[in-house]
Each structure stands twice: as C-alpha cells, then as structure tokens.
Amino acid sequence: MEHELLQELWFSWGERGAALTETQWATPTRLPGWTVRELFAHTAPTSAYLIPSRAAVVDRPAAVSSGPEALRFYNRPGGLARTGADAIAEEARNTAADLETAVLVRRFAEDGPAGWALLRELPPETVLERPFLGTATLGAIYEIAVMEATVHLLDLVAAVGGPPPPAAALRLTSEILVAVADPVEFIEAATGRTERSVLPVMR
C-alpha cells in the first residue's frame, strides 16, 4: 500500500527535530511531565511500535481492521490507554534520557520511512500480528501511525511553534477520531441536540 502521507509526516518530524535548539528540546509540552524530548521519544517509530515487520504477516482474520477500531480497543475500560498510561509515560522518559538527539531524529528521518518502504507492495488488507491488538490489518496500523504522528505534531507546534501538519493528515486524523464515537451520539452532540459529551474519544 502507498504510505506517502505517513512518510511526509515523519520527514517533517525529522526536519523539525534537526532544527531544534537545546532550549527547545527541553521546552515543556502540554502533556504533563513531558518536554519536547519526551514527546519525540514517545512518537518516534520503532519496530515495536509503528513499524510492522513482514515476518508478522499471518493468514488469519484480523481482530482490528481500521484505525477507529484500534482506538476503541485501546481506550475501552481496562484498555491499554487506561491501564498502561503511566508505564507509557515512564517509557518515554527513559527513552528520552537514554538516546542521543541524533538517534531520535533518525528514527523519523530514516528508520520509519525505510521500514514502511519494505511493506509497499502489501495490500492494506494484509493481516499482521501486533502487540496488544492480537492481529490487525496493515491499513489499520497505517491509520493509527498517521493519527499518532499528527496529534503529537500538534503538541510539538503548541510547544515550540512551526507550521501545522499537512492538510491531508489533519483530514484523515479527524475522520478517524470522529469514527471512534457512536455515530448517533456524535451527530446529536455536534448539532446541539443533546448535552451529553462524546469527547474526548481517546486519552
């Protein structure tokens, strides 16, 4: 499948990271306890996080076949976003402390794009084994990768400035997030027909 939008996002992260000053790397973000450095450490693609391996391809049905499905799974009661938030935050702090700045930048500028280039000929319906999800389609993994890179790029812009994410990334991310909510509840909330809140849809 094509992955130019994800590649564009990661290249943007890499370019911005390469231009940051030491002061900017230490700038607090709107995520509690994280500076820009922890934000980079958390968002950077790795083989364990956002770079699927061809070796993980399996011939069985996918438990998750879209980005919204994955988000609902992560954010359900007892899901990873709720039970693992502290561990995820701690891992980001440890990675930020352990890795050199150049390594964090390289993960965006080189490692992520190179990893996905190996998957280009695979269709989005390809099923892979994934941590926590069990199995997921390549298309679902791609959507989550774009969403993560986009949401956290907005966090980066809020901290140190810079241009917004690409319009296509913002559009896809908004579509994914809207699809997480119950459609009737979202429509009624968006049109002022109920006071019930449907947001946020993810942590």
pLDDT (0 to 100) of residue 122: 96
146-187 pLDDT per residue, tens = 999 999 999 999 999 999 999 999 999 999 999 999 999 999
Residue pLDDT, tens place only, 70-103: 999 999 989 888 898 999 999 999 999 999 999 9
pLDDT at 46 over 80: yes
Q: Which pLDDT does position 11 carry in this prediction?
A: 98
Query: How does the average pLDDT of the chain come out, rounded?
Result: 95
Do the beta carbons of residue 75 and residue 200 sit within 8 Å?
A: no
Q: Which CATH number fits domain 1-191: 3.90.420.10, 3.90.480.20, 1.20.120.450, 3.40.50.970?
A: 1.20.120.450
Calpha distance 69→47 (Å, rounded)? 21
> Which residues are CB-contacts of 115 (< 8 A; sequence separation ≥ 6)?
45, 47, 51, 52
∠ CA(201), CA(157), CA(22), 5° rounding? 130
Angle between helices 85-98 and 36-43 (to 10 degrees): 110
- List pLDDT tens digits, range 110-135: 999 999 999 999 999 999 999 899 99
pTM score = 0.95
| Residue of 60, 53, 63, 16 lying closest to 158 (CA atoms) | 16
Q: Is a pLDDT exceeding 90 seen at residue 108? A: yes
